[in-house]
Amino acid sequence: MVSILGISAFYHDSAACLVVDGEIVAAAQEERFSRVKHDHRFPLHAAQYCLAEANLTADGLDFVGFYDKPLLKFDRLLETYLDYSPSGFRSFLKSMPLWMSEKLWMPDLIRTELAKVDADDDDERGAKKRGRKFKWKLLFGDHHESHAASAFYPSPFAEAPILTIDGVGEWATSSIGIGKGNELTLLQELRYPNSVGLLYSAFTYYTGFKVNSGEYKVMGLAPYGEPKYAGAIKDHLLEVKDDGSIKVNQDYFNYSQGLRMTNGAFDKLFGGPPRQPESTITQREMDLARSIQVITEEVMLKMAQYVRKETGMKYLCLAGGVALNCVANGRVLREVPFEDIWIQPAAGDAGGSLGVALAIWHRYLGRPRTVNGQDAMKGSYLGPRDSETEIESYLKSQRVPYTKYSREQLPEIVAELLAQGKIIGLHQGRMEFGPRALGCRSIIGDARSAEMQSVMNLKIKYRESFRPFAPSVLREHVSEWFELDADSPYMLLVAQVAPEKAVEVTEELTGFEKLKVRRSEIPAVTHVDGSARVQTVTRETNPLYWEIIEAFRKRTGCPVIVNTSFNVRGEPIVCTPEDSYRCFMRTEMDYLVLETLVLSKEKA
């Protein structure tokens, strides 16, 4: 038996992943355990969980892989800062202590941290355990290679080109590679500071959202606007070549030097300073969001077209933070002649932990891949699950009343509540790996309801009212309801609602008023441009979730429900039953389902 622990940490979204004899046994992000959103610290709790899932101790590992090469990154930081000093000095000082004390001493740091996994007792025995020597070998992956490995190795394809696009790794910001069997070769890369991810982040900053997490909001805001600034972006900010590579004009940006992403020249070009976070969103931000979204789609399409032409291969694998841009992904699927594309659900840096672990198994150890038409992600349900006994004893300790149903009854009960318009917290099975909740740590509701979108945003999630919700649809029925006839198990593809399900819009409004217009039979999941971020659900990967939606379909004729992540704004998605119960009590959710135990707000 060969056990490999993959780790990504110290940038954002730390995570750990355990691969045993080539099988992905467990994977989780640290934030879910520490409850610190995008936690970047060493993923001690996630590693602890992964080892426990396989009944392993830290001594039982054969390999530990880290997802990037800290020295290369240090080299990039140093060169960038030397280039731009002295104006870059402030941010340099801010990031230096961390690099000096942690990143350069990575091998020691990883050993010390992993020694804590099973030795947190404060006595002499604990100290001795923490000081022990490990036999495992520590290997470092290349940042984009880790992304590429996470996209290709678990994919259902025997061979495929791989496109990775993110902010920045060590030097690369995007790469093209080829996977064949167990081999993976990176052929080309785009280098810092020419970065699609950083460009998108600069607009995220400029429109008043948080860099590295608000990119999703920019994408959600885009359909409210017009691409008014796309011309200015292309004339001044970047050159897009035919192969999709870009050259970014650094005169307008500050990301290599400062803590701000954009500078005075940028402000001048777009007519003013950045929007203050939390202040009113105006038409200008909507237009800026639409403009950068349109440019990103153009770049991604060109990159994908280039890959298709150069390799002549049938399928495509995608990863890197920009691969979470599901609007662009949907266009790649529709407009580039690949037969199918597969996107790593943990496309951001968290997925690097999985990539490096699989790269050690397949590349370093040369073990073959088996391809059987399914991907190897197990629906991305790779996190912890609590037993019903544990949940019951927790609820009893809190003196919380609940009703216990049989596994057979449960889908009918939940479907009936959904049909009555109730909003339900659904906590069942193993927690999802990656940023999306896929029916195991989800809040669900009736997609046919016109009020659901604003009620969920304002009373449950406490977040901006413009943000759309995503549908979970039975795979068997996806093409009847959406212009999509493909698997989208990870909610990473956007498609239009099918014309047969659209309703005629008699009066079009502007700005956020657009939200009030009913556009389809499933208004709660239809964005203002008639699109939806689809998750297809199959019985094989998530039986209970499938049965709930099927029972809802039998009652209502609609195989679509609303699925949003189980959390409130600013908090990580829930992990334990305790997290779920707390979140349930803090919001206006009507019911909480913990496996087969159902809690009602009225009785709680």
- In the complex, the residues that contact Fe ion under the rule CB under 5 A are 166, 349
Using CA atoms, how far apart are residues 11 and 39, in angstroms rounded to an integer? 9
Per the listing, tokens 């020295």 go with 71
Q: How far is the CB of 390 from Fe ion (least distance, A)?
A: 35
HSE on the CB side for 235, CA within 13 Å?
A: 8
Closer to Fe ion by CB, 299 or 484: give it.
Answer: 299
Q: Of 222, 184, 236, 242, nearest to 364 (Cα)?
A: 184
Q: How far is the CB of 169 from Fe ion (least distance, A)?
A: 5
Using CA atoms, how far apart are residues 7 and 353, in angstroms rounded to an integer? 4
Q: How far is the CB of 167 from Fe ion (least distance, A)?
A: 7
Per the listing, tokens 């790794």 go with 169
Per the listing, tokens 């002499």 go with 124
Closer to Fe ion by CB, 349 or 432: give it.
Answer: 349
Per the listing, tokens 């460009």 go with 199
Q: How far is the CB of 29 from Fe ion (least distance, A)?
A: 14
Q: How many CB atoms lie within 10 A of CB 591?
A: 21
Closer to Fe ion by CB, 170 or 579: give it.
Answer: 170
Q: Backbone phi, then psi, for 421, in 5-degree steps?
A: 90, 10
Q: Quick one: DSSP state of residue 411?
A: H
Q: How far is the CB of 192 from Fe ion (least distance, A)?
A: 12
Residue pair 515/464 in contact by the 8 Å Cβ criterion: no
Q: How far is the CB of 600 from Fe ion (least distance, A)?
A: 43
**Residue facing Fe ion at closest CB distance:** 166
CB under 8 Å to 22, separation ≥6 — which residues?
358, 361, 362, 367, 369
Closer to Fe ion by CB, 322 or 410: give it.
Answer: 322
Q: How far is the CB of 514 from Fe ion (least distance, A)?
A: 34
Using CA atoms, how far apart are residues 49 and 26, in angstroms rounded to an integer? 8
Q: Quick one: DSSP state of residue 501?
A: G
Query: To 10 degrees, what angle do helices 89-98 and 70-84 make?
Result: 160
Using CA atoms, how far apart are residues 76 and 497, in angstroms rounded to an integer? 44
Closer to Fe ion by CB, 349 or 386: give it.
Answer: 349
CA-based R_g, the chain, Å:
24
Closer to Fe ion by CB, 166 or 547: give it.
Answer: 166
Closer to Fe ion by CB, 359 or 558: give it.
Answer: 359
Closer to Fe ion by CB, 205 or 224: give it.
Answer: 205
Report residue 8 as tokens: 């990504």
Q: How far is the CB of 540 from Fe ion (least distance, A)?
A: 31
Q: How far is the CB of 349 from Fe ion (least distance, A)?
A: 5
Closer to Fe ion by CB, 22 or 141: give it.
Answer: 141
Environment class of residue 401 by beta-carbon count within 10 Å: exposed (0-12), middle (13-18) or buried (19+)? Answer: exposed
Closer to Fe ion by CB, 3 or 212: give it.
Answer: 212
Q: How far is the CB of 164 from Fe ion (least distance, A)?
A: 8
CB under 8 Å to 562, separation ≥6 — which residues?
443, 444, 445, 446, 447, 452, 456, 469, 470, 471, 472, 524, 525
Q: Of 175, 121, 115, 167, nearest to 145 (Cα)?
A: 175
Q: How far is the CB of 10 from Fe ion (least distance, A)?
A: 12
Residue pair 582/378 in contact by the 8 Å Cβ criterion: no
Closer to Fe ion by CB, 323 or 522: give it.
Answer: 323
Residue pair 458/499 in contact by the 8 Å Cβ criterion: no
Chain centroid offset of residue 311 CA: 28
Residue pair 534/482 in contact by the 8 Å Cβ criterion: yes
